[in-house]
Amino acid sequence: MKQIDATSAAAQWYRTFTKKWAKPSAIVVVSAHWEGRGAVKVTTGEKHPLFFDYYGFPDYCYDLEYAPPGHPELARRIIELLEADGFNARGDDSRGYDHGTFIPLKLMYPDADVPVVQVSLLGGLDPEKHLKMGKTLKKLVDERDVLIVGSGQATHGRGSDHRPYPPGKGAPKEEAFVDWLKETAASPAVTPEERQRRLREWERDAPHGRNAHPREEHLLPLHVAAGCTGFQPGSIIFDDFAMGHMSLACVGFWPGGGEGEAKGGDDEGVCST
Question: Higher pLDDT residue, 161 or 87?
Answer: 87
Q: What is the mean pLDDT of residues 1-5?
A: 60
Ramachandran angles phi, psi of 255, nearest 5°: -55, 130
Taking the C-alpha atoms of residue 264 and residue 262, their distance in angstroms, rounded to an integer, is 7
- pLDDT tier, 272 (very low <50, low <70, confident <90, very high otherwise): low
Three-state secondary structure of 161-190: CCCCCCCCCCCHHHHHHHHHHHHHHHCCCC
- Report pLDDT digits (tens) over 224-268: 999 999 999 999 999 998 877 889 999 999 876 656 543 333 334
Q: What is the mean pLDDT of residues 84-111?
A: 96
Q: What is the mean pLDDT of residues 17-40?
A: 93
Q: What is the mean pLDDT of residues 168-180?
A: 90
Q: What is the pLDDT of residue 266?
A: 35
The average confidence (pLDDT) of the chain is 90
Q: What is the mean pLDDT of residues 179-189?
A: 97
Bridge partners (DSSP) listed for residue 247: 241
The amino acid occupying position 190 is: V
Q: Are 100 and 152 in contact (CB under 8 A)?
A: yes
Q: Are 71 and 24 in contact (CB under 8 A)?
A: no
Q: Are 50 and 96 in contact (CB under 8 A)?
A: yes
Q: What is the mean pLDDT of residues 74-93?
A: 98
Q: Is the pTM of this model over 0.85?
A: yes
Taking the C-alpha atoms of residue 253 and residue 85, their distance in angstroms, rounded to an integer, is 22
Q: What is the mean pLDDT of residues 185-203?
A: 97
Q: Which CATH class is domain 9-272?
A: alpha beta
DSSP assignment string, 51-76:
-----SS-GGGGS-----B--HHHHH
CA-based max dimension of the chain = 50
Q: What is the mean pLDDT of residues 51-76?
A: 92
Q: What is the mean pLDDT of residues 129-154?
A: 96
Of 30-44, 140-154, 185-199, 233-247, give the lowest mean pLDDT range.
Answer: 233-247
Q: What is the pLDDT of residue 37?
A: 92
The amino acid occupying position 260 is: G
Classify strands 116-122 and 26-36 as parallel, antiparallel or unpaired: parallel
The amino acid occupying position 121 is: L
